[in-house]
Amino acid sequence: MSTGATGFLQRYEDAVGRLPGDSALRAAAAAAFREAGLPGGTQGRRIEAWKYTSLRPVAEANFQVSPRHEAETLLSGLTLLDAPRVVFVDGVLRGDLSVLPAVSIARFADQPDFGTLTWPDREPMVALNTMLATDGVALNVPAGVDGGIVQLVSLSGGQGDFHPRHGIRLGKGASLTVVEVAAGQGAYLLNTVAEIHVAEGAHLTHIRLQDEATTAFHVSTTYADVQAGGTYDSFTLNLGGRLSRTEVHTQLSGPNATAHLNAAQILAGSQHADFTTVVSHAAPSCSSRQTVKNVLGGRSRGVFQGKIAVARHAQKTDGYQMNQALLLSPDAEVDSKPELEIFADDVKCSHGATVGELDAEQMFYLRSRGIPDAEAKSILVRAFLAEALDAVANETIRGLLETAVEQWWERQKA
């Protein structure tokens, strides 16, 4: 029997008195989820934002509490940075596996804070998270402080469904680098919601390395608000998952705020990965940059939806969006949907999309030098990805992502 929307709602009803935090907010989220259902599910309403990604397989899965798995083994198999880490196993913070950072952290389980930016009424998966979230972490960097690097590691297993709720708050002029790594084993659902506040002149670098089991479902929704002169610099690398959706909403609220929403997705087999962004230019002289690259093999499908909304008073907006896809197989598919909604009259906004196969001349050049076909392909694909990874300024972190890509290649060969 599948869990479906009904199953999730039942779970909420059963737990309702014991869930931490604002119960009215949870009740409202439950009502919204009841109304919306799972996008693509049989009872789900049709939602334009989910046009290219159907959660029918999520609706049809039977999620259940799974026996404890060896999180330690999974953790030791991961390549991580030599930096503080907050480790979640099946959605629950594990202090014994974590190396806590110097910056102030609070557990959602102890101090539940749903934030102010999310839209449970518009986003069914955010509603589901709001309904069922029990743990997560809030990182708080005071004004003027450099919080260094913090890794948020999520290890999942079995057939469970997990709904972590995170908050990141940077005071004026503060800086922080957050590296999220998600991995696991099994046919689980990880449905994360994160809310981010970047105050004036603060700088948050946010890396997501999604390397889930290829039988798993991964949904990650981020809401970020960036104040004057602040920067939200994010890079997402999607390698794993049977089906993944990474959704980032960024609001540039003060003048000269900057958002980078770069991503690369490398897929094989019948994987499906969706990278969806909404950038709201709500103040003048802000800039947003998005370079999204898809490398698609097998029967995989990559989706990029990028919306840039420019408010009437957001003059001198500079928005750039580029989506490039490399199709390695005739059965792979990419859907690209740029959307510009501009109400100001003095703006610079551009977008472009390219879809192609490997260049035949480049392939011949490499092979004519003795490099076998498969190796030549991998050289050209890596070169294609290198440009995307160049957006990651920190060399150590770029190295971590490059290692993940190399390991992905090794797995494809095996």
Q: List contacts with other proteins (CB under 8 A).
A: 360-362, 364-373, 375-376, 379-380, 382-387
Task: Please tell me the distance from the alpha carbon of residue 267 to that of residue 298, in angstroms, as a whole number.
Answer: 8
- Whichever of 146 and 390 has its CB closer to other proteins, that residue is 390
Shortest spacing between CB 325 and other proteins, in angstroms: 16
Task: Please tell me the distance from the alpha carbon of residue 218 to that of residue 132, in angstroms, as a whole number.
Answer: 16
Token pair for 242 = 């049977």
- Whichever of 129 and 294 has its CB closer to other proteins, that residue is 294
Shortest spacing between CB 375 and other proteins, in angstroms: 7
Shortest spacing between CB 133 and other proteins, in angstroms: 41
* Residue 91 CA neighbour count, 13 Å, CB half: 23
Task: Please tell me the distance from the alpha carbon of residue 236 to that of residue 246, in angstroms, as a whole number.
Answer: 8
Token pair for 207 = 């890396």
Task: Please tell me the distance from the alpha carbon of residue 91 to that of residue 228, in angstroms, as a whole number.
Answer: 34
- Whichever of 23 and 362 has its CB closer to other proteins, that residue is 362
- Whichever of 76 and 368 has its CB closer to other proteins, that residue is 368
- Whichever of 67 and 370 has its CB closer to other proteins, that residue is 370
- Whichever of 72 and 373 has its CB closer to other proteins, that residue is 373
Shortest spacing between CB 361 and other proteins, in angstroms: 5
Shortest spacing between CB 390 and other proteins, in angstroms: 9
Q: What are phi and psi of 32, to 5 degrees?
A: -65, -40
Strand partners of residue 304: 275, 336
Shortest spacing between CB 239 and other proteins, in angstroms: 19
- Whichever of 55 and 380 has its CB closer to other proteins, that residue is 380
Shortest spacing between CB 364 and other proteins, in angstroms: 5
Task: Please tell me the distance from the alpha carbon of residue 205 to that of residue 345, in angstroms, as a whole number.
Answer: 31
Token pair for 247 = 């959704």
Do residues 262 and 290 make contact, with C-beta atoms less than 8 angstroms apart? Answer: yes
Q: How far is CA 319 from the centre of its chain?
A: 21
Phi-psi group of 24: left, alpha or beta (phi > 0 → left; psi -120 to 50 → alpha; rest → beta)? alpha
Token pair for 323 = 């989506």
